[in-house]
């Protein structure tokens, strides 16, 4: 016999889209909110994020006199999307970015005081934590998710159910939804319990499908099958199936982002799942080398850098100045994991490391003179003595032959699925002729924000902005009459 629950709002997915959705739903009058996650604990891919969250006109920007605006931010995002982004969604993303950053700081109790200019951005707007004084790492995604999870646990109206896989999402006779889920047993040897939920509204916050080889082959057959991924095994795309069962429109499923810098572990170079070498490493000044030479503007978009890599790995090189700004504790963590070689003193030692190889990154013919000249040319461009031959105009760090270096071998990896369930600016799930009444989506399960390429820092931001909108609107949903009004509006477009 199935256990039956009831809810005003059911949020499926407990990552950085689902957690704000649950909070906003409770804050806007929902007295029974269920937050469901299939993993043993909430977090999802957002817990792995290390570069930060974007915001224009934020507290931190004002304090550091960093010029930016929502319109400039929106233009950067639209340009990155190459004509495939929905301008209405991008407008919401940019204009609500500062309030999203403030929401994270207040609700998660995370101070986002460091602001960097990441690839594809024309201003410094990617916010992250400062290095901790106790020498421990400050992983921004993990800290945000854990802070929000703690906040959710304090809200009486929200019940969190982990270890629960949603197997069906259907309409019920009252205009709401019927959700079926399998809840993992607390003890070994017991069977999963089937539970059913009668709910007025549903928010899909289930993430993307970057770890689902079958869906990648189906929707993005142009990608090489052997590409690794930075995603956890949970990124399977179940939300797409649930939405499709209710007639939802799916868009841009062929738009899959490759991140240019996933760590290659020399001890396991062929591992399918790889640690991400975050955008912030380049945002703070790291350079990329192939055959001992720079080959791309390190602050270009991810798509531009992947194209320049031409399917080959590269060496990511930081110096002591980059390490100090990024987070020395995180660099030490990478070193302990064998993902970075640290403490490489001087260009002679750097050349020796490159000749001997770091995983597949081997440069047998590199010379000290050649490396010295390459670093010298870069620093001359950074000082404004001559233009950079690769078009770089922002130089967060200078490099010298006497520096102490931290080095990693990096390679492109499947990182993010830009497409998904089509939503409108209020996070309502769209289908032909209108919306699916009472169904909302936010985060990577949705499509339309990023188009053909996602900018660094826009994933966490999208989750917060549209997760909040989805939760609020799900709580305030007025039923069939609202849906008829929306359908009439869509028919005129």
CA–CA separation, 378 vs 401, rounded Å?
11
Could you give the domains of the chain?
3-255+418-491 (3.50.50.60), 258-414 (3.90.700.10)
- pLDDT one digit per residue (tens) for the chain, 493 residues: 467 899 999 999 999 999 999 999 999 999 999 999 999 999 998 998 888 999 999 999 999 999 999 999 999 999 999 999 999 999 999 999 999 999 999 999 999 999 999 999 999 999 999 998 888 888 999 999 999 999 999 999 999 999 999 999 999 988 999 999 999 876 666 788 899 999 999 999 999 999 999 999 999 999 988 899 999 889 999 999 999 999 999 999 999 999 999 999 999 999 999 999 999 999 999 999 999 999 999 999 999 999 999 999 999 999 999 999 999 999 999 999 999 999 999 999 999 999 998 989 999 999 999 999 999 999 999 999 999 999 999 999 999 999 999 999 999 999 999 999 999 999 999 998 799 999 999 999 999 999 999 999 999 999 999 999 999 999 999 875 454 554 444 444 4
CA angle 36, 27, 445 (to 5 degrees): 40
What Å distances lie between residue 37 and 149, 153, 194, 203, 256, CA to CA?
Answer: 12, 14, 15, 12, 24
Beta carbons of 463 and 15 less than 8 angstroms apart: yes
Instruction: Encode 452-487: b = buried (16+ Cβ within 10 Å), e = exposed.
Output: bbbbbbbbbbbbbbbbbbbbbbbbebeeeebbeebe
CA–CA separation, 18 vs 21, rounded Å?
5
Tokens representing 347 are: 């260009």
Is the torsion defined by CA of 225, 245, 234, 17 positive or negative?
positive
CA–CA separation, 249 vs 84, rounded Å?
16
Q: Which residues are catalytic?
A: 259, 282
Phi–psi pair at 3, nearest 5 degrees: -75, 140
DSSP letters, 32-56, are -EEEEESSSSS-GGGGG--S-EE-S
């Amino acid at each position: 016999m199935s256990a039956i629950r009831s809810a005003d709002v059911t949020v499926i997915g407990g990552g950085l889209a689902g957690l704000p959705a649950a909070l906003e739903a409770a804050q806007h009058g929902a007295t029974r909110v269920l937050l469901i996650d299939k993993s043993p604990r909430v977090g999802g891919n957002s817990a792995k994020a290390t570069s930060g969250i974007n915001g224009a006109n934020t507290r931190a920007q004002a304090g550091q006199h960093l010029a930016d605006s929502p319109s400039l931010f929106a233009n950067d995002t639209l340009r990155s999307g190459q004509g495939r982004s929905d301008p209405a969604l991008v407008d919401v993303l940019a204009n609500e970015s500062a309030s999203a950053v403030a929401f994270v700081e207040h609700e998660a109790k995370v101070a986002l005081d460091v602001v960097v200019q990441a690839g594809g951005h024309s201003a410094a707007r990617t916010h992250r934590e400062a290095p901790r004084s106790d020498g421990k790492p400050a992983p921004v995604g993990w800290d945000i998710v854990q802070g929000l999870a703690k906040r959710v646990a304090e809200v009486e109206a929200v019940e969190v159910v982990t270890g629960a896989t949603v197997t069906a999402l259907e309409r019920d006779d009252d205009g709401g939804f019927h959700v079926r889920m399998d809840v993992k047993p607390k003890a070994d040897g017991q069977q999963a319990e089937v539970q059913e939920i009668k709910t007025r509204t549903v928010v899909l916050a289930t993430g993307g499908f970057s770890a689902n080889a079958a869906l990648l082959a189906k929707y993005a057959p142009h990608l090489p099958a052997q590409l690794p991924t930075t995603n956890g095994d949970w990124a399977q795309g179940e939300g797409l199936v649930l939405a499709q069962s209710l007639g939802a429109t799916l868009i841009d499923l062929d738009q899959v982002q490759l991140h240019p810098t996933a760590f290659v572990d020399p001890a396991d170079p062929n591992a399918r799942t790889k640690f991400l070498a975050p955008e912030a490493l380049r945002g703070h000044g790291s350079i990329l080398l192939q055959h001992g030479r720079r080959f791309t503007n390190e602050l270009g978009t991810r798509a531009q850098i992947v194209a320049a890599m031409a399917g080959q790995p590269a060496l990511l090189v930081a110096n002591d100045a980059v390490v100090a700004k990024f987070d020395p504790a995180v660099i030490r963590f990478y070193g302990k994991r064998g993902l970075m070689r640290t403490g490489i003193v001087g260009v002679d030692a750097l050349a020796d490391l490159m000749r001997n190889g770091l995983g597949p990154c081997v440069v047998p013919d590199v010379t000290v003179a050649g490396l010295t000249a390459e670093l010298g040319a870069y620093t001359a461009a950074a000082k404004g003595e001559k233009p950079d031959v690769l078009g770089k105009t922002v130089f967060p760090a200078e490099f010298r032959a006497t520096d102490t270096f931290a080095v990693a071998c990096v390679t492109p990896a499947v990182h993010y699925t830009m497409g998904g369930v089509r939503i409108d600016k209020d996070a309502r799930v769209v289908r032909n002729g209108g919306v699916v009444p009472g169904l909302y989506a936010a985060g990577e399960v949705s499509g339309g924000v990023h188009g053909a390429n996602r900018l660094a820092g826009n994933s966490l931001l999208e989750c917060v902005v549209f997760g909040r909108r989805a939760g609020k609107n799900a709580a305030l949903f007025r039923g069939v009459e609202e849906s008829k009004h929306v359908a009439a509006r869509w028919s005129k477009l």
